[in-house]
Chain A
Amino acid sequence: MINEEAVYYSRILTETTLSFHIIYATLGVGVPLMIMIAHWVGIKKNDEHYILLARRWTRGFIITVAVGVVTGTAIGLQLSLLWPNFMELAGNVIALPLFMETFAFFFEAIFLGIYLYTWDRFENQRKHLLLLIPVAIGASFSAVFITIVNAFMNAPQGFDLINGELANVNPIMAMFNPAMPTKVSHVVGTAFMTSAFVLASIAAFRLLRGSNHIYHKKALLLTMKIGLIFSLTSLIVGDLSGKYLAEYQPEKLAAAEWHFETSESAELILLGFMNEDEEIKYAIKIPYALSILAHGSPTAEVIGLDQFAEEDIPPLYIHYLFNIMVVIGMMMIGVSLLFLIGKAKGWSIVESKPYRWLIVLGGPLAIIAIEAGWWLAEVGRQPWILRGIMRTAEGATTSNHVDLMLFLFCGLYLILGVGSVVVLVRMFRMNPVERELMDRKGEVHR
């Protein structure tokens, strides 16, 4: 028995929860690494500014962690509440990484609490730095494990289906599925990249708004360096993801690229719009590029949508999402690369107002790219919840109350979103870095 309305609202509610959660979750994965690096640089250079940077980032981080934790709890429970049939089936095969994710999270939670409340308890800051290692590891590994679960949904393996019954389950095989290497490295890499650009955008904003303190300049340079490194790794992994899709999920790649007919030497369609008659307008077509993306050879054959039944093709609007993600990614590589070269060569343009505004824009754009990338990945495997095995509608709940829950949760996310922004802004505006540095000076010369 499939309850169409419940399926529809379950999809919307899951999408809303995840879209809201990943903003905080991405920062939750990336920021601990940034704090650790800043703390480490501070100790190494014996520079108080970096230590203060680590402190201030941590303080803001707590707020994002809180929202990340509660929305993460929400999605964790919603998996069973909204997709009971899916969880019943998939739980048999994929419970292991789900379970390990909670361990990683537990580990992080314990050490974050300790790190926060022991700022002044250790004489030696190196010891205090050690506490950050489990926080950063826990944060990254929870991303790794939960992404493995998602990778399994795209490329289920590690079991046999015999007459609708599960047999020969192999949890390790299920974890190391073909989608896992590219997905995990892309998710973790882009989380580091996004966090670096979000922090860079804060530093650039402070520099634009009155403060010209060396502290913000140091913060900006550090985060732009980290941002460039991880945006380059994201680019490489993104290319590998294309090759993975061509091999294992050709319908997702074909839909994202509007590649209708199977052909050799396939061209890549960049940007453009599609009208109701499926005619593509205003697109930039790059010859051979899709064949290179898919198989690393300009003449290789790329499978098109003509090879798939109508009901197995994902929505074609994912092309726009793909473009948003790629264009922002490329742009951020350009912005950070130019910034670092400009800094080294002493070009004044990278310290000009418009360029700083561009960096300010980079943070929100990186988050938009994360959202677009996830929507692309998730909508791209429609109509399946477990690709090739269970359709989305078969996994959903039959309850009649999903619409009401959707409204309640939207209310919650509104409160959390507004609340976290207000608190963060107030926290830093009421205590600018200049004042804190003065206070701490007093402390040092005590």
Chain B
Amino acid sequence: MNLEIIGIIVLWTFLFGYIIVASIDFGAGFFNAYGIFTNKQHILTKIIQRYLSPVWEVTNVFLVFFFVGIVGFFPKTAYYYGTTLLVPVSIAVILLGIRGSYYAFETYGARSHKGYAFMYGLSGLLLPAALSIVLTISEGGFIFIENGNPVLDYMALFMSPLTWSIVVLSLSAVLYISAVFLTWYADKANDTPATELLRRYALIWALPTIITAGGIIYELRFHNADHYEKILSVWWMFLISALLFIGTVWLLWRRKNYGIAFSLLIGQFAFAFYGYGISHYPYLLYPHLTIYDSFTNEAMALSLIIAFIAGLALLIPSLFLLLKLFLFNKDYVRGNSEHKH
């Protein structure tokens, strides 16, 4: 296996990590706000806050890790994506800024305020939309070269059905992933009303998620035939993904083994995400940029991979400790331990 492939696998894995943890975060913010406006706040807020508080900062690091890594391994992406993504990514950064800081202000500082909760929830919906634009653009057809510089065609982007399908998918997937996770978390906390409510949300959002996911593959046939062909060549990955989806929904429906349901969901998204990634190979930006012509020099690639391995040796035990202390600690999850700040 060559260094280019290792590099992109590393980055793709971190992006996957971000998508899962950020979905839980974004969705939780939305459900929290929705709960406040439908007077179900007492059911959900405690569960959501207890999960989010120790991890909100870590969630953000996954994103930083991904974008620093991609510029490191593939410096040309800075040139193509940097120039064209100024507006959508800046908007995403501003939303992230408002979101992250208000979370801290709210949790550790001021009393809760309806308006903030609303903004927090709303930004959780706008963010996946702003970030998923990158995925749409990578399919090609929206960037053209003018005077030697890449320019983004906003008109084409906004008129494309592909754009909107990806936005809808990102939204419903966020809510679905988040609801399934929180169902499991609430169940561990022995919080029956929260479990029931979140289970209902999970079942509601399952359907649009799978329908749009299927629809996007169909639309790619017209937008990027090359990519569509390659997706068909790894059809089995998408089949496994679909079976895992059915497994999750079935378990939720039968009200049992929420932990297994969540791991099936991770598997479902992993197969779909890696299947999508493999079929996108070798393009980073169709058809301008492949992973081969944008790859950094060998010396840098090697040192990045060494740094990466050393860093992971430090991070994995630390992350494990974090999960053990909070996510898998019964007393903490149930709110039994003392917390004074």
CB of B120, distance to nearest CB on chain A (Å): 13
- A412-B94 contact given A70-B100, A85-B79, A92-B75, CB 8 Å threshold: yes
User: Does A120 have its Cβ within 8 Å of any Cβ on chain B?
Assistant: yes
Q: How far is the CA of A419 from the CA of B113 in the complex (A)?
A: 13
Identify which of B33-41, B84-92, B241-249 touches chain A. B84-92
Determine the main DSSP class of A at the interface with B.
helix
A residues in contact (CB < 8 Å) with B: 1, 59, 62-63, 65-67, 69-74, 76-85, 87-93, 95-96, 98-103, 105-107, 109-114, 116-121, 134, 166, 169-172, 397-399, 401-402, 404-405, 408-409, 411-412, 415-416, 419-420, 422-424, 426-427
Could you mark each residue 38-63 of chain B with 1 if its beta carbon is under 8 Å from any beta carbon of chain A, else 0?
00000000000000011101101101
B residues in contact (CB < 8 Å) with A: 53-55, 57-58, 60-61, 63-65, 67-69, 71-73, 75-87, 89-91, 93-94, 96-98, 100-105, 108-110, 147-149, 296-297, 299-300, 303-304, 307-308, 311, 314-315, 318-319, 321-322, 325-326, 332, 337-341
Contact of A74 among B54, B78, B93, B105 (CB under 8 A): B93
Report whether A100 and B57 are in contact in the complex, using a CB–CB cutoff of 8 Å. no
Question: When A and B form their complex, which 8 residue pairs have the shortest distance between CB atoms, in order from nearest?
Answer: A95-B72, A66-B104, A84-B82, A91-B75, A423-B109, A87-B78, A103-B311, A113-B54
CB of B329, distance to nearest CB on chain A (Å): 9
Report whether A95 and B86 are in contact in the complex, using a CB–CB cutoff of 8 Å. no
- A120-B67 contact given A103-B307, A423-B109, CB 8 Å threshold: no
Q: How far is the CA of A116 from the CA of B332 in the complex (A)?
A: 13
Report whether B61 and A87 are in contact in the complex, using a CB–CB cutoff of 8 Å. no
Nearest B-chain residue to A436, judged by Cβ:
B340
Using Cβ atoms and an 8 Å threshold, which residues of chain B touch A107?
A: 314-315, 318
- A427-B339 contact given A80-B67, A87-B78, A114-B325, CB 8 Å threshold: no
Using Cβ atoms and an 8 Å threshold, which residues of chain B touch A92?
A: 75, 296-297, 300
Q: How far is the CA of A213 from the CA of B151 in the complex (A)?
A: 62
Q: How far is the CA of A162 from the CA of B50 in the complex (A)?
A: 56
CB of A315, distance to nearest CB on chain B (Å): 27
Residue with the highest number of chain A CB atoms closer than 10 Å, among B53, B67, B75, B307: B75
Using Cβ atoms and an 8 Å threshold, which residues of chain B touch A72?
A: 64
Nearest A-chain residue to B95, judged by Cβ:
A412
Report whether B319 and A110 are in contact in the complex, using a CB–CB cutoff of 8 Å. yes
Using Cβ atoms and an 8 Å threshold, which residues of chain A touch B105?
A: 63, 66, 419-420, 423
- A402-B104 contact given A87-B78, A111-B318, CB 8 Å threshold: no
Q: How far is the CA of A357 from the CA of B101 in the complex (A)?
A: 31
CB of B258, distance to nearest CB on chain A (Å): 24
- A114-B322 contact given A73-B96, A96-B307, CB 8 Å threshold: yes
- A401-B97 contact given A80-B78, A423-B105, CB 8 Å threshold: no
Report whether A71 and B108 are in contact in the complex, using a CB–CB cutoff of 8 Å. no
Using Cβ atoms and an 8 Å threshold, which residues of chain A touch B77?
A: 80
CB of B334, distance to nearest CB on chain A (Å): 14
Q: How far is the CA of A71 from the CA of B93 in the complex (A)?
A: 9
CB of A56, distance to nearest CB on chain B (Å): 10
Report whether B54 and A116 are in contact in the complex, using a CB–CB cutoff of 8 Å. yes
Using Cβ atoms and an 8 Å threshold, which residues of chain B touch A100?
A: 307, 311
Using Cβ atoms and an 8 Å threshold, which residues of chain B touch A73?
A: 60, 63-64, 93, 96-97, 100
CB of B55, distance to nearest CB on chain A (Å): 6
CB of B9, distance to nearest CB on chain A (Å): 16
Q: How far is the CA of A404 from the CA of B87 in the complex (A)?
A: 9
Using Cβ atoms and an 8 Å threshold, which residues of chain B touch A83?
A: 82
Q: How far is the CA of A243 from the CA of B321 in the complex (A)?
A: 46
Q: How far is the CA of A170 from the CA of B65 in the complex (A)?
A: 22
Report whether A121 and B86 are in contact in the complex, using a CB–CB cutoff of 8 Å. no
Report whether B296 and A88 are in contact in the complex, using a CB–CB cutoff of 8 Å. no
Report whether A171 and B299 are in contact in the complex, using a CB–CB cutoff of 8 Å. yes
CB of B132, distance to nearest CB on chain A (Å): 16
Residue with the highest number of chain A CB atoms closer than 10 Å, among B87, B97, B102, B149: B97
Nearest B-chain residue to A97, judged by Cβ:
B307
Report whether B72 and A405 are in contact in the complex, using a CB–CB cutoff of 8 Å. no
Contact of B299 among A134, A169, A415 (CB under 8 A): A169
Q: How far is the CA of A277 from the CA of B96 in the complex (A)?
A: 48
Q: How far is the CA of A100 from the CA of B304 in the complex (A)?
A: 9
Using Cβ atoms and an 8 Å threshold, which residues of chain B touch A116?
A: 53-54, 341
Using Cβ atoms and an 8 Å threshold, which residues of chain B touch A416?
A: 97, 101
Using Cβ atoms and an 8 Å threshold, which residues of chain A touch B90?
A: 77-78, 81, 405, 408-409
* Beyond A99-B69, A113-B326, A419-B102, 20 extra complex contacts between A and B, CB < 8 Å: A65-B104, A74-B97, A77-B90, A78-B93, A79-B78, A80-B77, A81-B90, A91-B75, A99-B307, A106-B65, A110-B319, A113-B53, A118-B325, A120-B337, A121-B337, A121-B338, A171-B299, A397-B83, A398-B83, A419-B101
